[in-house]
């Protein structure tokens, strides 16, 4: 190929790539290099601190900083919600992809019409009788029943996906109110059942509180605390989210012959799941786990900032929130950058281990 043609091709490519490449260099690649270099300096937002090269001092400080280990522990602890959340997504996807149609083409429509009428009547009676709350719950129940019976799996999927789609500052504030120890919905319902509600966001307890953790981990003993509150909210928001949708796609790609063969062999539901569905979904699971760990290790920032300010006693401070407070509250960008790079190395190592181990598993 001659030079002139090559140059022309490069020019055309640059015209298409130009805007994106410029942004990429200025806002991604450039900052990555600056932050790497900055982590070896006294880089600060305080004008009084001169910029000096200090070698690996920030990294030495970091590894001798007891808080770093505490916040790393918190980050890992919050990740423990992941198996529950992923397992739940898988279970929902399995149930949603089973046969949900009722016999006869018009049975679903008829049933959902009947439940609509029953709901309307019962709700109006209750509402007039003054039990508005129960009426509202029944109304929701009736509505979901109609949608579920009529639309089947797509109908349910809409309800399950909503918490994920709306997740953000709004739903975090919503849960903050639900967790209020005095008048929050959760503790009030527990109180009605005669169960004393935990302190949730004000409590340093944790389910691993029985372990002999170091003094500065501010261990409040065994129980439900702020970290569990964040985990429960996270499971609520993610169980019917993207992971469930990916599993649904994965299940619909499993060749039906496999199930037909197992029917001939007389397999029951659990055996079909254990020997066909689960192994066939291994690549999907692998992808979800890898992405979940990468995201989880970087997580916990919004909840810490909005709900708990990293507290109580630092128990909900994760590494990403620590980086933020070092950079924007203590104005020590160099140290913050060093923590960010250590976080990156942790993510890389975990991902590589996953890759090694996971690929072997999926190759079976």
Partner 1 sequence: MEFRTLLKHIGLILIAITMTVPFLWMLGTSIKPHHEVEELSLVPRHPQPENYAIVLRQKPDPYTGKYLDLNFPKWYFNSIFIASWVTILQVLTSSMAAYAFSRLHWPGRDKVFLLYLGTMMIPGMVTMLPNYQIMVGLKFVNTYQGLIIPAAFSAFGTFLLRQFMLGIPRSYDEAAEIDGANHLQTFLDVILPMARPGLIALSIFTFLGNFQSFFWPLVMVKDDAMRTIPIGLLSFQGQYGQQTELIMAATVMNVIPLIILFVVMQKQLISGIQLGGVKG
When the beta carbons of 198 and 241 are compared against partner 1, the nearer one is 241
Residue 257 tokens, joined: 């012959």
Select the span of 61-69, 71-79, 168-176, 223-231 touching partner 1 (CB under 8 A). 168-176
Q: Does 300 bind partner 1 (CB under 8 A)?
A: no
Choosing from 54, 76, 84, 102, the residue that interacts with partner 1 (CB under 8 A) is 102
For the bound state, the minimum distance from the C-beta of residue 145 to partner 1, rounded and expressed in Å, comes to 6
Q: Does 113 bind partner 1 (CB under 8 A)?
A: no
Choosing from 124, 166, 271, 359, the residue that interacts with partner 1 (CB under 8 A) is 166
When the beta carbons of 112 and 204 are compared against partner 1, the nearer one is 112
Residues of span 175-194 touching partner 1 by CB under 8 A: 175-178, 180, 182-183, 185, 188-189, 192
Residues of span 216-275 touching partner 1 by CB under 8 A: 236, 240-242, 245-246, 249
User: Burial, 264: exposed, middle or buried (Cβ in 10 Å; 0-12, 13-18, 19+)?
Assistant: exposed
Residues of span 29-58 touching partner 1 by CB under 8 A: 29-32, 34-35, 38
Choosing from 306, 311, 313, 350, the residue that interacts with partner 1 (CB under 8 A) is 306
Residue 277 tokens, joined: 């569905």
The backbone region for 303, taken as left when phi is positive above 0, alpha when psi lies in -120 to 50, beta otherwise, is alpha
For the bound state, the minimum distance from the C-beta of residue 30 to partner 1, rounded and expressed in Å, comes to 7
The Cα–Cα gap between 169 and 307 comes to: 9
Choosing from 93, 201, 281, 340, the residue that interacts with partner 1 (CB under 8 A) is 340
Q: Does 165 bind partner 1 (CB under 8 A)?
A: yes
Q: Does 141 bind partner 1 (CB under 8 A)?
A: yes
Choosing from 2, 4, 19, 266, the residue that interacts with partner 1 (CB under 8 A) is 19
């Amino acid at each position: 190929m001659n030079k002139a043609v090559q140059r022309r091709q490069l020019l055309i490519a640059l015209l298409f790539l130009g805007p994106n490449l410029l942004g990429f260099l200025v806002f991604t690649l450039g900052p990555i290099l600056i932050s790497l270099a900055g982590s070896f300096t006294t880089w600060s937002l305080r004008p009084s601190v001169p910029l000096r090269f200090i070698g690996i001092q920030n990294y030495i400080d970091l590894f001798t900083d007891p808080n770093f280990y505490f916040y790393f522990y918190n980050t890992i602890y919050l990740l423990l919600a992941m198996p529950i959340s992923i397992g739940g997504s898988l279970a929902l996807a399995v149930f949603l992809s089973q046969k949900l149609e009722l016999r006869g083409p018009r049975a679903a429509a008829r049933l959902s019409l009947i439940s609509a009428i029953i709901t309307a009547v019962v709700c109006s009676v209750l509402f007039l009788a003054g039990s508005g709350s129960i009426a509202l719950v029944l109304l929701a129940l009736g509505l979901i029943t109609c949608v579920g019976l009529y639309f089947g799996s797509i109908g349910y999927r809409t309800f399950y996906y909503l918490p994920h789609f709306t997740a953000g500052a709004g739903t975090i504030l919503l849960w903050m109110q639900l967790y209020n120890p005095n008048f929050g919905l959760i503790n009030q319902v527990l109180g009605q059942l005669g169960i004393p509600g935990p302190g949730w966001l004000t409590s340093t307890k944790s389910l691993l509180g029985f372990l002999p953790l170091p003094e500065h981990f501010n261990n409040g003993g065994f129980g439900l605390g702020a970290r569990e509150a964040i985990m429960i909210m996270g499971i609520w928001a993610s169980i019917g989210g993207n992971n469930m949708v990916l599993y649904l796609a994965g299940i619909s790609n499993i060749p039906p012959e496999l199930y037909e063969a197992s029917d001939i062999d007389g397999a029951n539901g659990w055996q079909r799941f254990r020997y066909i569905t689960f192994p066939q979904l291994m690549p999907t699971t692998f992808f979800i786990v890898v992405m979940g760990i990468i995201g989880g290790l970087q997580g916990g920032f919004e909840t810490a900032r909005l709900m708990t300010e990293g507290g109580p006693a630092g128990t909900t401070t994760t590494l990403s929130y620590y980086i933020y407070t070092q950079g924007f509250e203590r104005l020590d960008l160099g140290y913050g950058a060093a923590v960010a790079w250590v976080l990156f190395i942790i993510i890389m190592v975990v991902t590589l281990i996953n890759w090694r181990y996971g690929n072997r598993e999926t190759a079976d």
